[in-house]
């Protein structure tokens, strides 16, 4: 009898531990059986039950997640009790205000995980905090960390941690590369896709607590009763997971759907329309998060159409939100079609003088760089220059300029490079180690009363959510950094790999190495040394020859400024003087072409082709070296990936390998596009040991046309 039970048990273990094709749907929330039996047993001894007092939907979600997670990881059922009584050896979920073991938590959402009286206690001042703690505990197991003497205290560094979805009512996603929208507008509110809950779980596991459901180029439709009903249905699913919904608004909505003659923010009828609309929203969604606004930007209407300022527009919405807990996120992404202007300077020029005039419910949402989500940009000069206005940082997870869902680019280094940049602001908070962008954003420099980070989502209806399986890491990394911006890119990568791809230490190291280098590799074959390519179009292949557009700042030549002398945009005082927008210490880092770090050189200087650089090479030779080694390095990534073949799921392996092959092909093509085009100005040969491209410039141009269906 005992033998049969043993045989049956082993069979069961074998079945549950068998590696099966992984379609990526479960993201990093994979709770596959831990292979090491000793480890499993050790965990199981500390996780014999889950006790939870209180039955709020959020606590239930926390207990459910732990139960499902432990069942999978440990291969045995763990009961959920409403009262632990005298039992020990379990996990206790506890909400309360009193001092929980050790340090006091700073925030409502923070959590502690401590070992007390032979139990693991997950505590917080709020239900949501307990949920975050539950996910953190599961992460410990998923990354094979010890759990027997835990003492973790964790508070989020910013309050609003959000995803922005650029999703349209017709199902498409602006700059989305992973299928259609996740939100089934046609089926809502009647049918609730199970996927909404999984979306919420994934976000809650990172601490993301807000989601803007629709595109910043917003349709007024989202404010109709019909669509608000749909949004409310999503909010109902997200609520237990601590996630609030927000809506992007179309500024002239009072005209378009309200039948008013104007959308002037100072018009009393317009103000009343917004107040009534907001009331209607809160009836449906009592915890509605607020409004995100793109106004007077890229053709979108806004308050300036009525000779009003951004502050007039934002404050009108803040007034409508006054009776409620919601906020206004007003974007600073603006630039005018002025041939003499430098787009780099536009945001500070339009927003700087408004500092101090925004309502206290308003956060100005600023893209990380001054232009537009380029593979490398200096930080936006607004950070550190608006001490009286809370600034949110906006990153882009979807790979608009990063090779869509085909190229492997781990974005944490992009986020960190910006967050760790010193603005040299002299805020009232006197931060101990530099007024970095992160410390501006989290309020420590200027004491912002509200703080936020936003990421333009890379999710879609593809089964694996993000198209490229490795792009899941970008969602993950962004979420982890919204909670704690001090985490390193490497630590996040290693954690994600262990939870998602493999637990084998050597494979983790190899994959992490590839991920950490991927951004620099991409920059090298795409936009090295401070080149950028934000001109109009689909933002896929570089087209440096593009010089026709209704607006000068929508051409390629506007940005790179290649001529017979050299390359790059002079932003010193001899040029556009954009550098003057930064504090003097920052200017000092960048305004001397002799000492400006090479990754930023062409952002700020027009450099002669023959100029000798710190590497000992001329500008032309250095550019070629970077373009060629960048493209070659994709070959290196392919080799790295081939080495982990036996350590990752076969389906995922093949997906990534296939995409890397495409990436390699395109990297060579993109290198050729730039090199052949720039060579017409530089008039120099391709330096040894590199071979000249096999195609001509005309052939590259045709290739782009074919790809872009022109
Ligand atoms: C640019 C995108 C465009 C967006 C815009 C924005 O090309 O599709 O609408 O940013 O952020 O990057 O508003």
Distance (Å, whole) CA 269 – CA 261: 10
**How far, in Å, is the centroid of ligand 1 from the Cα of 593?**
31
The DSSP bridge partners found for residue 81 are 51
Among 298, 400, 539, the mutation site with the greatest number of ligand 1 atoms within 8 A of its Cβ is 298
pLDDT at 308: 98
Q: What is the 3-state secondary structure (H, E, C) of 92-149?
A: EEEECCCCCCCCCCCCCCCEEEEEECCEEEEEECCHHHHHHHHHHHHHHHHCCCCCCC
Strand partners, 394: 367, 454
pLDDT at 512 (0 to 100): 99
Quote the CA–CA distance of 345 and 577 in Å, as a whole number.
9
* Integer CA distances (angstroms), 540 to 109, 543, 603, 669, in order: 40, 9, 21, 12
Q: How far is the CA of 483 from the centre of ligand 1 (A)?
A: 25
Sequential DSSP letters for 505-526: HHHHHHHHHHHHHHHHHHHHHH
Residue ranges for the chain with pLDDT beneath 70:
1-20, 97-103, 429-433
Q: What is the CATH number of domain 523-569+606-708?
A: 3.90.1330.10
Residue 8: what pLDDT?
A: 52
Give the DSSP H or E segment for 539. Answer: none
What is 25-154's CATH number, 3.40.605.10, 3.30.379.10, 3.30.450.20, 3.10.129.10?
3.30.379.10
* Strand arrangement of the beta sheet that strand 111-116 belongs to: 80-81, 50-52, 91-95, 119-124, 111-116, 151-154
Residue 190 is among the residues annotated as catalytic for this protein: no
pLDDT in tens, 356-410: 999 999 999 999 999 999 999 999 999 999 999 999 999 999 999 999 999 999 9
Of 656, 14, 702, 159, which Cα lies nearest the Cα of 450? 159
Q: Is the dihedral of CA 493, 458, 669, 608 positive or negative?
A: negative
Domains of the chain, by residue range, sit at 25-154, 160-500, 523-569+606-708
Contact at 8 Å (CB) between 316 and 271? yes
pLDDT at 14: 47
Establish whether the linkage from the previous residue to 203 is cis, with ω within 30° of 0.
no
Separation of alpha carbons 310 and 265, rounded Å = 10
- How far, in Å, from the CA of 471 to the mean position of ligand 1? 20
- Among left, alpha and beta (phi > 0; psi -120 to 50; other), residue 365 is beta
CA–CA dist 600, 603 (Å, integer): 5
Residues in the ligand 1 pocket, defined by CB under 6 Å: 174-175, 216-217, 294, 333, 372-373, 400
- Per the CB < 8 A criterion, the answer to whether 49 and 84 are in contact is yes
Nearest CA to ligand 1 atom 1: 372
Kindly report whether the peptide bond that precedes residue 189 is cis, defined as omega within 30 degrees of 0: yes
How far, rounded to the nearest angstrom, does the alpha carbon of residue 391 sit from its chain's CA centroid?
16
Spatial CA neighbour of 148 closest among 296, 33, 47: 47
129-162 pLDDT, tens digit per residue, is: 999 999 999 999 999 999 988 999 999 999 999 9
Which among 415, 500, 511, 516 has a CA at the least distance from the CA of 456?
Answer: 415
Instruction: Specify the pLDDT at position 708.
Output: 85
Is residue 377 flagged as an active site residue?
A: no
**Of 175, 300, 380, best ligand 1 pocket probe by most atoms within 8 Å of the beta carbon:** 175
Quick one: 160-500 is in which CATH superfamily?
Answer: Glycosidases (3.20.20.80)
523-569+606-708 matches 25-154 in CATH topology: no
Identify the pLDDT of residue 502: 98
């Amino acid at each position: 009898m005992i033998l049969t039970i043993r045989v049956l048990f082993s069979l069961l273990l074998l079945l549950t531990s068998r590696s099966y094709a992984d379609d990526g749907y479960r993201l990093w929330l994979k709770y596959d059986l831990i292979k090491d039996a000793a480890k499993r047993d050790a965990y199981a001894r500390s996780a014999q039950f889950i006790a939870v007092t209180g039955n709020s939907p959020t606590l239930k979600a926390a207990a459910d997640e732990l139960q499902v997670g432990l069942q999978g990881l440990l291969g045995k059922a763990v009961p959920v009790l409403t009262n632990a009584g005298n039992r020990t050896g379990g996990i206790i979920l506890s909400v309360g205000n009193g001092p929980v073991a050790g340090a006091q938590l700073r925030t409502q959402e923070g959590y502690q995980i401590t070992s007390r009286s032979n139990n693991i206690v997950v505590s917080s001042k709020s239900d949501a905090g307990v949920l975050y703690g539950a996910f953190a505990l599961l992460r410990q197991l998923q990354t094979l960390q010890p759990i027997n003497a835990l003492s973790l205290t964790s508070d989020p560094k910013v309050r609003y941690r959000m995803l922005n979805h650029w999703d349209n009512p017709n199902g498409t996603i602006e700059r989305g590369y992973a299928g259609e929208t996740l939100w089934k507008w046609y089926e809502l509110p009647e049918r609730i896709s199970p996927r909404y809950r999984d979306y919420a779980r994934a976000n809650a596991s990172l601490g993301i607590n807000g989601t803007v459901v629709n595109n910043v180029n917003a349709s007024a439709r989202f404010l109709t009763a019909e669509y608000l009903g749909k949004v409310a249905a999503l909010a109902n699913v997200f609520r237990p997971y601590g996630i609030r919904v927000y809506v992007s608004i179309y500024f002239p909505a009072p005209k378009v759907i309200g039948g008013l003659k104007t959308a002037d923010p100072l018009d009393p009828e317009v103000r009343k329309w917004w107040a009534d609309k907001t009331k209607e929203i809160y009836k449906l969604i009592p915890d509605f998060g607020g409004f995100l606004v793109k106004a007077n930007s890229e053709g979108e209407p806004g308050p300036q159409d009525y000779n009003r300022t951004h502050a007039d527009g934002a404050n009108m919405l803040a007034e409508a939100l006054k009776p409620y807990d919601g906020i206004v996120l007003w974007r600073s992404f603006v630039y005018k079609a002025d041939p003499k202007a430098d787009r780099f300077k536009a945001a500070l020029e339009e927003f700087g003088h408004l500092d101090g005039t925004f309502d206290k419910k308003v956060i100005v949402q600023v893209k990380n760089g001054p232009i537009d989500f380029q593979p490398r940009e200096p930080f936006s000069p607004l950070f550190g220059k608006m001490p009286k206005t809370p600034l949110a940082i906006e990153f882009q997870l979807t790979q608009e300029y990063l090779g869509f869902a085909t190229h492997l680019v781990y974005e944490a280094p992009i986020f960190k490079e910006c967050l760790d940049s010193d603005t040299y602001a002299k805020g009232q908070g006197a931060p101990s180690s530099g007024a970095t962008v992160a410390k501006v954003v989290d309020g420590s420099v200027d004491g912002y009363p509200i703080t936020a980070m936003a990421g333009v989502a890379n999710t879609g209806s593809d089964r694996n959510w993000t198209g490229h399986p490795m792009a899941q890491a970008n969602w993950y990394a962004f979420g982890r950094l919204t909670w704690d911006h001090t985490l390193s890119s490497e630590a996040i990568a290693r954690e994600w790999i262990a939870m998602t791809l493999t637990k084998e230490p050597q494979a983790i190291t190899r994959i992490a190495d590839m991920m950490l280098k991927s951004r620099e590799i991409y920059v090298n074959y795409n936009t090295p040394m401070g080149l950028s390519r934000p001109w109009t179009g689909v933002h896929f292949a570089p087209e440096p020859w593009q010089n026709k557009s209704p607006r000068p700042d929508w051409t390629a030549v506007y940005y790179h400024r290649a001529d017979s002398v050299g390359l790059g945009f002079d932003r010193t005082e001899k040029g556009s003087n954009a550098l003057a927008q930064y504090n003097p210490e920052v200017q000092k880092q960048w305004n001397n072409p002799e000492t400006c770090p090479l990754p930023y050189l062409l952002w700020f200087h027009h450099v002669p082709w023959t100029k000798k650089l710190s590497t000992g090479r001329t500008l032309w030779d250095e550019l070629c070296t970077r373009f060629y080694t960048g493209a070659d390095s994709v070959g290196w990534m392919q080799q790295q990936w081939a080495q982990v073949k036996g350590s990752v799921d076969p389906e995922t392996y093949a997906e990534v390998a296939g995409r890397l092959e495409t990436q390699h092909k395109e990297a060579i093509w993109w290198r050729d596009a730039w090199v052949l085009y720039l060579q017409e100005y530089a008039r120099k040969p391709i330096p040894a040991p590199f071979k000249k491209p096999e195609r001509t410039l005309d052939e590259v141009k045709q290739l782009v046309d074919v790809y872009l269906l022109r």
